[in-house]
A and B are shown apart, each in its own frame.
Chain A
Amino acid sequence: MANDNERPIPGASVGEQFQDNARMSMRNVNIFYGEKQAIFDVSLDIGQNQVMAMIGPSGCGKSTFLRSLNRMNDTIEGCRVEGQIAMDGQNLYDEKLDVVELRARVGMVFQKPNPFPKSIYDNVAYGPKIHGLAESRVDLDEMVESSLRKASLWNEVKDRLHQPGTGLSGGQQQRLCIARAIAVNPEVILMDEPCSALDPIATAKIEELIEELSENFTIAIVTHSMQQAARVSHRTAYFHLGRLIEVNPTEQVFTMPEHELTEGYITGRFG
């Protein structure tokens, strides 16, 4: 846990917000859509190689908060982010920071699989190409293969790399999007309800993949499935009406949550 004077106003959130091995550090983050405030004074660390799950009732601000971690909110008209968001000590909202490069370092996977209308190969090769990561065609081939392998998709697509990505099943498309995100060698991967459009088997595959990916990447995942949070994450953050109510090791949150709002939510009770 970080030192005490870094703590925000007392009583704001309960649990272990801070980590010694923080990869991303958010401090006193407020987010607005025009006049309306969607996130209130959230402070939180995401540790190296951790899977951080964010749960809470819909509309509580999970996606808003997640999007602020790679400045996806910049693209939303009227959205304003206050406070500090840093990766490895570097302020992500620094004016001099290259946002395109940031989104390569902090990749994102969305709710609905959204492959480009291109071949499977090109979907994965796109990032390395625009970021100039590949020196040669052979290099690129290798990157595509290793990304597809890391996304546990290689064996299923290796014989049809030049067919359109949109022809894959939903679960395969989602793994393709994950391959696309990891092709540019990110440090952090953000996932916003990545399984909500998938059937249970495709979901199980993605969950297994998340566990494997956490060996090499730091992951923040928004999920409306509490069981999914319980299965895949190391830490769980519970949001309620734009506030971070509690963050604790996942096993604690699901067996002995500290805050009664968390308890109410995960046991499926009225407020």
Chain B
Amino acid sequence: MDKLKFENHIASVFDEELEEIRNDLMAMGGQVEQQLTDAVQAICEADSQLAEQVIQRDHRVDEMELEIDEACVLVIARRQPAASDLRLVVAVTRAVADLERIGDEAKKIAKHALELTESGPSPMGYSEVRHLAQSVSQILRNALDSFARFDADTALATMQEDKKIDMEYKTALRELVTYMMEDPRSISRVINILWVVRSLERIGDHAKNLCEQVVFVVKGKDIRHRNGQ
């Protein structure tokens, strides 16, 4: 059974409920992606207004988590989903938790963006942030794509990409430490950047969790805590 379809239930409302949950999850994914993009842009362009917007909009992500979670609980109560339906609902409740955490990290990045703009303009650390953010955004996009298409192969490949992020993260840390050693006056600034880089790395981990859920839905295998094989 490689092809998953979530329609053709005898109770057609059930089809609609599952469809809606999937659509809402994708909408939430899109929202979270936007938050990440804007937070990174706020840093790299020292745009405090944009940073404020990201912070303001985080509650919307939280709301979406609650809404989708509730819809999943209702489906479980009403329909007692089984097999692939059950895996989908369980995977979605796990996925929204990860998306919400990604939203939180984006908000943290935006807060650091505010502190950085207050401490005056300086391009120090931007290239590290920009570089890592690019890889992380790509991973997040691939993870969401694989969810939308229930594509376990893409999900598994994307999980491997996360290793690359860990490498880039370590490289960025090393460079940032060098900045601090070279110029102690930059320490408070670089510490902000360090937190940003750490948030980005975390987002990569959450994206990886999303991929694990895709594999769970499609293959029925729980591959959490298994170091991606």
A residues lining the B interface (CB < 8 Å) = 226-227, 230, 254-260, 262-263, 266-270
Contact = CB atoms under 8 A, between A and B. Distances in A.
Given A260-B1, A263-B1, A254 B82 contact: yes
Nearest to B86: A255
B84 A268 contact: no
Contact of B82 (A258, A259, A266, A270): A266
Contacts of B87: 255-256
B151 interface: no
Interface in B74-88: 79-87
A270 B10 contact: yes
Question: Chain B contact residues (Cβ within 8 angstroms of A): what range?
Answer: 10 to 19
Contacts of A259: 1
Contacts of A255: 82-83, 86-87, 220
B99 to A, nearest CB: 24
Nearest to B90: A255
Nearest to A227: B80
Interface in B37-95: 79-87
Contacts of A260: 1
B9 A269 contact: yes
Contact of A254 (B10, B14, B79, B83): B83
Contacts of B10: 268-270
B81 to A, nearest CB: 7
Given A254-B86, A255-B86, A260-B1, A267 B80 contact: no
19 contacts: A226-B80, A230-B82, A255-B83, A255-B86, A255-B87, A255-B220, A256-B220, A257-B83, A262-B83, A263-B1, A263-B84, A266-B82, A266-B83, A267-B83, A267-B84, A267-B85, A268-B10, A268-B11, A269-B10
Given A226-B82, A255-B220, 13 more contacts: A227-B80, A254-B82, A255-B82, A256-B87, A258-B1, A262-B83, A266-B82, A267-B81, A267-B82, A267-B84, A269-B8, A269-B9, A270-B8
B8 A256 contact: no
Contacts of B220: 255-256
Given A256-B220, A263-B1, A268 B86 contact: no
B85 to A, nearest CB: 5
A159 B8 CA distance: 54
Contacts of B85: 267
For B79, B82, B85, which residue has the most chain A Cβ atoms within 10 angstroms? Answer: B82
A227 to B, nearest CB: 6
Nearest first, the 5 A-B pairs at minimum CB distance are: A256-B220, A266-B82, A269-B8, A254-B82, A267-B85
A263 B14 contact: no
Contacts of B81: 267
Residue among A230, A259, A268 with max Cβ neighbours from chain B (10 Å): A268
A135 to B, nearest CB: 50
B87 to A, nearest CB: 7
A200 to B, nearest CB: 14
Most buried by B among A256, A258, A269: A269
Contacts of A262: 83
A267 B9 contact: yes
B19 to A, nearest CB: 14
A271 B80 CA distance: 19
Contacts of B14: 268
A233 to B, nearest CB: 14
A266 B83 CA distance: 7
Nearest to B87: A255
